[in-house]
């Protein structure tokens, strides 16, 4: 099996790469690439994201043909893709970080700043938080409800259809921290920084 981690120069993704290599051992051919041919011929794709919604979308668009290839992979070929942090947020139609920016539009919704209730909640939301698994998701196989995952974010994905939500956290309000729609999976938390539980999720995605 071939898995591509999309490298579009959006921050340091070494921990993502290391976690997938640790779990996959020699069973999976893992490639870190922005080559659209390699991405297109993969069985699975991981879309990481660090920085702002706007900067990540711009970085994707800066690589000729990459967004078209990802659309083909996800929408037409219906192959599994996992978005992490801003990688998940970019699934939305639109994001409002820095300025209004058009997203990939794979899962209808918007990305808005977390309501910190006039400073009552610190932003960015950094650290461990307990996830509430709200639907039977393939990537949460053998992961207990109320497990702790690691977060770093100030913005949240608000999907138009609640059916895509697979887990939430309580921080100021109920925040979506994981989505699943057919072959599209996303986590707001960082599985690669979430210890053994996070590695279990990585393993579940690899074994889909």
- pLDDT, tens digit, 9 for 90 and up, residues 135-145: 999 999 999 99
Q: How many CA atoms lie within 13 A of 162 on its CB side?
A: 4
The token duo for 95 is 């994001």
Alpha carbon 208 to its chain's center: 16
Percent of the chain surpassing pLDDT 90? 97
Query: Where in the sequence numbering do the catalytic residues fall?
Result: 85, 190, 192
pTM of the model: 0.97
Domains of the chain: 2-206 (3.40.50.880)
More confident call, 82 vs 27: 82
In angstroms, rounded to a whole number, what is the distance separating the alpha carbons of residues 74 and 125?
A: 30
CA-based nearest residue to 139, from 193, 87, 177: 177
- pLDDT, tens digit, 9 for 90 and up, residues 168-189: 999 999 999 999 999 999 999 9
Residues ≥6 apart with Cβ < 8 Å to 58? none
């Amino acid at each position: 099996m071939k898995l591509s981690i999309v490298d579009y120069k959006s921050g340091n993704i070494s921990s993502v790469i290391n976690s997938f290599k640790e779990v996959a051992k020699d069973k999976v051919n893992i490639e870190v690439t922005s080559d659209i041919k390699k991405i297109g011929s993969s069985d699975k794709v991981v879309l990481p994201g660090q920085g702002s919604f706007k900067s990540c979308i711009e970085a994707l668009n800066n690589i000729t043909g990459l967004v078209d290839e990802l659309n083909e992979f996800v929408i037409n070929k219906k192959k599994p893709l996992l978005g992490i942090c801003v990688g998940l947020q970019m699934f939305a139609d639109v994001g409002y970080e820095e300025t209004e920016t058009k997203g990939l539009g794979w899962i209808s919704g918007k990305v808005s700043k977390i309501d910190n209730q006039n400073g009552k909640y610190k932003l960015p939301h950094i650290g461990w938080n307990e996830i509430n698994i709200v639907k039977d998701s393939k990537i949460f196989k053998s992961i207990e409800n109320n497990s702790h995952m690691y977060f770093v974010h100030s913005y949240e994905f608000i999907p138009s259809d609640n059916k895509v939500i697979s887990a939430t956290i309580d921080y100021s309000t109920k925040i979506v921290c994981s989505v699943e729609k057919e072959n599209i999976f996303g986590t707001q938390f960082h599985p690669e920084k979430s210890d053994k539980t996070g590695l279990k999720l990585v393993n579940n995605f690899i074994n889909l």
